[in-house]
Structures are given as structure tokens and as C-alpha cells.
Copies of this chain bind each other. A is one copy, B any other.
Amino acid sequence: MRGTRLDTDRIRAARRLIDPVFLDTPLYRCEALEPELGCAVSVKLETANPVRSFKARGTEIAATRLADGGDRAVVCASAGNLGQALAWSGRNRGLDVTVVASRFATPAKLDRIRALGAALELVDGDHESARERAADRARRDGIRLLEDSLDIETCEGAATIGLELTAATPRFDTVLLALGGGALATGVGHVLKDLAPGIEVICVQPSGAPALTLSWRERRVVTTDSADTIADGVAGRFPIPAVLDDLLVVADDAVLVREESIVAGMRLLLDHAGLVVEPSAALGVAAVLEDRDRFAGRHVVTVVCGGNVDAAAYRRWIGPAATDPS
């Protein structure tokens, strides 16, 4: 394949920097989902760890390198999961972690960032405002900015999921990846295209936050004026050019899904798989629900990338049981 910013041997080396509690996550066939989805479905579960998302794979690498390099502090912008993961990884290595987030971010995520001892700075505006402020903070304080999807550690961390997927038997036909900033898709996609090029890599983004998907389709950066989706973890508007370049190499398709499909996906994963997932982690199932014919007869893996939800919002999304007699 054409080159990306990633290198599979470097990913293998980076994997050794990650606390094993985040590695070798469950990967299993989930037959109870299959009647509803019309295809074979396996789940790669990234929620059963101390920060309930895959993001710590990347922050473990980043925090190790920072600490080894003598850094004492780091700042990142986050919708919540990266910040929580960096707070966890930084705490274990004596790093001062600052997280900048939108004040409209999911409260449960912000609570966990605080509980893990990070300094939390809230900004008006959306995630893009938080990115600007974090960059300002890094310049002003002379500390390292960890930028999701741009900084190679965040992509290498995600890429270790790809190593685990390619080690699995049986092989899969298709891997469905949530698309936000692009770290997950480019990281996992790189490894799949390098080691198992026959596996289809499909990125899934909400119709309400389509910037990187539109960019992939037009092969140039397309920004949007707003983002409107419950999938807070993938609600960016300004794609990073270098990430788009990689995505153009590794993605076979990028699809957009409706909000109601995301909610339906969350309900399915709860009722048939017993999994609590945040909206971003239901994007893969949503993509199958919107296009069952495309996936019929195939074996798809969906990476369940995060499970940080607010209790009240989650109950509203899942609503009453489909078969509730009451």
C-alpha cells in the first residue's frame, strides 16, 4: 500500500509501552445481534478497562515518552475520553495533566477527568474551541500539547487494536470504525491494510458531524460550520490534513448514519449484547442497520470504542424495552 505516517514495526514496539490492562481486549462473536443485523457480527470491546474507552492505548504511549523525555506537564483538548485517558496515564507517571473541554461536554466524562486528578479547563463553544484553547495553553506555558489524531502516539495506540484483530482467527470480511478525528480509523486501518489487506475498512460518522467523511469523499479538507450529533466523541468540524492523507490510503469507504440509527444501535447493543456503549461506539451497528443488504452474508467486526455515558441521558436513549409488557 501507499505509505501513511504509521509503521507497523513501530506500532509493535509502541505496544510494549501500554499497561496490559488496556490490551488484548475481548473479541467475540455476538450471535444474539445477528438476527437484527442480518450478518455475522463480532465485537471488539474497548470499554472494559479503567477509563472505558480505547483512548488509553494512545495516552499510555504518549505519557511514557513524555515522562522518559523529562516532560513534567501535558495539555490536551478532549470531548472527554482522551482527557480521561491522559489523566489516567499521566497520574501513573507523575505528569501534570491539563484537559481543555467544551462546557457542553458529557458531564460524566468531565467528572472522571477531575476525579483522576487532572486540571480541567472549560471553554464556551464546541470541541474546536477547546482545541484552540489547548494550543494556546501549550504555547503560553511551554508545555507539550497532545493533539488527538495528529500526534502519532494517538494513532499508534489505536493501531494496536489492529494488531489484535489481525492476530484473530477466523478472519473477518469487514471492520467498522467510528470516525471522528481519525486516529482510530487511520491507526486500525493502517495495520489492517498492511497485514490483512483483504479486510474491508469502513469508517462511520454521524450525518450531523460529517466533516472528515466529506473530506475523504472529496479528497480534500472540508470543514463544517457546526456539528450536531449525540455522538459527542466524534463531533469535530476541522479535519487535520495529515490525517486525511492517511485516511485516503487506508479507508475503503466512509459512510454517514442518522441519529436515530445511532440510538437504535445503542439499544440493540444493550438488549442483545448486554453492552453499555456511548453513541460513538454504536456507529458501526448503525451503519449495518442502515444498509443490511450491503453486509448480508459477511462477517463484520465493530470496534466498541467507548462506554462513557451520563446515566440520565443513557436511560433516555435506551427508552422502554421493545417487548416491555408494562
Chain A interface residues toward B at CB < 8 A: 21, 24-32, 43, 45, 47-50, 52, 112, 115-116, 270-271, 274-276, 307-312, 314-316, 318, 320-326
Contact = CB atoms under 8 A, between A and B. Distances in A.
Contacts of A320: 312, 315
B45 A48 contact: yes
Contacts of A47: 274
27 contacts: A21-B26, A24-B24, A26-B26, A26-B48, A26-B49, A28-B48, A28-B50, A30-B50, A43-B48, A47-B274, A270-B276, A271-B311, A274-B276, A274-B307, A274-B308, A310-B321, A311-B321, A311-B322, A311-B323, A311-B324, A312-B323, A312-B325, A312-B326, A315-B318, A315-B321, A315-B324, A316-B326
A36 to B, nearest CB: 13
Contacts of A276: 270, 274-276
A320 B314 CA distance: 10
Contacts of A26: 21, 25-26, 48-49
Contacts of A321: 310-312, 314-315
Given A311-B270, A311-B271, A29 B50 contact: yes
Contacts of A45: 48
A276 B237 CA distance: 33
Nearest to A318: B315
A32 B112 contact: yes
A47 to B, nearest CB: 6
A309 B31 contact: no
Contacts of A30: 50
A52 B274 contact: yes
Contacts of A32: 112, 115
Nearest to A316: B326
B323 A31 contact: no
Contacts of A312: 320-321, 323-326
A115 B311 contact: no
